[in-house]
Amino acid sequence: MLEPAQEATLDAVLDRIMPADAHGPGALDLGVGRYLRDALASAYAADLPAYRGGLDALDARAREAYRVTFATLSPQLRDGLLLASETGAAGAEAATFFELVRRHAIEGLFADPAWGGNRDGGGWELIGYAGPRRAWSAEDQQLDATPARSRPDVSAPLPGAPGPR
């Protein structure tokens, strides 16, 4: 499990990687934080040390540069520290950690909602994906078709998934 300060830093990172904007909700609104916390407690438990170290290092860089925690920085200052991580300017370990969080955040944004992220299929809605369905009509399969939105059935979790909350 992450410590409360690490969770706050993770949420601040997710909020900047995938912020809410005019196009729709962001990572936090769509449950990506919950997805990652659940995954770190199960399928991604091996990544927990990397998350702890990466979040602590990011927070330390914020404290060194601005004398406050990463989570309390303005969005612009957060972006600057994350850009340094992403590009490797903050070091190879920071870049590796940034890519790990980014990859997991994308998973949480677009995974089946039964896994805890993509709340109500909102990530799918952002990209115009109608959602999974058991059958597609001939009309749905036309190249110019826009299939009707299919709401995910989160009442039936996937085998091995934590289930809806």
pLDDT at 28 over 60: yes
Q: Which residues contact 21 (CB under 8 A, 6 or more apart)?
A: none
Q: pTM higher than 0.85 for the full model?
A: no
Average pLDDT (51-78) is 97
Name residue, tokens 């200052």.
77
Angle at 24 between CA 59 and CA 26, to 5 degrees: 20
78-105 per-position pLDDT tens digit: 999 999 999 999 999 999 999 999 999 9
CA–CA gap between residue 8 and residue 28 (Å, rounded): 12
- Dist CA 35 CA 105 (whole Å): 8
Q: Are 101 and 13 in contact (CB under 8 A)?
A: yes
What are the structure tokens assigned to 155, written together?
């009442």
27 touches 18 (CB < 8 A):
yes
User: What residue ranges do the domains of the chain occupy?
Assistant: 4-127
The CA R_g of the chain, rounded to the nearest whole Å, is 18
What's the pLDDT tens digit per position in 101-160? 999 999 999 998 888 899 989 998 888 887 777 777 788 788 887 766 665 554 445 555
